[in-house]
Amino acid sequence: MRFRGRARSGGSNAPAAPPPAEPAGPPPALVIDALGRKCPIPIIMLADRIREVPVGEVIAVLADDAAARTDVPAWCRMKSQDFVREETLPQGGWGFHIRRTY
């Protein structure tokens, strides 16, 4: 059955290629290891240490508490810092990359 508005591809039955991985970018100037700590500790550690890096540099916060997935981006919005990206860590947890703006 053909549906209106859908075009058939050129006969290839090969699966679609996965989207390209997001470029990692330069390594962070500072890595804060908050693995094993519950929120809000990762946020407190970030707020305490963000002034250690120059404006424009990136800080990575490593955390495995699921609350950090919402708390870190929310803190960035509240403090006008740039939330660059979130990456899944191979050992579990996430790496949150934040660019210092002021």
**Exposure letters 74-86 (e unless 16+ CB within 10 A, then b):** ebbeeeebeebee
Give just the sign of the alpha carbon dihedral 22, 24, 28, 31.
positive
Q: Tell me which residues are annotated as active site.
A: 39
**What are the pLDDT tens digits along the chain (102 aa)?**
454 555 554 454 555 544 444 556 779 999 999 999 999 999 999 999 999 999 999 999 999 999 999 999 999 999 999 999 999 999 999 999 999 999
Q: Specify the pTM.
A: 0.77
Q: Which pLDDT does position 23 carry in this prediction?
A: 55
Q: Which residues are bridge partners to 83 per DSSP?
A: 98
Nearest one of 48, 46, 50, 42 to 93, comparing CA atoms: 42
Predicted local distance difference test score (pLDDT) of residue 25:
76
Residue 31 CA to residue 1 CA, distance in Å, equals 54
- Unique residue bearing structure tokens 């660019």: 99
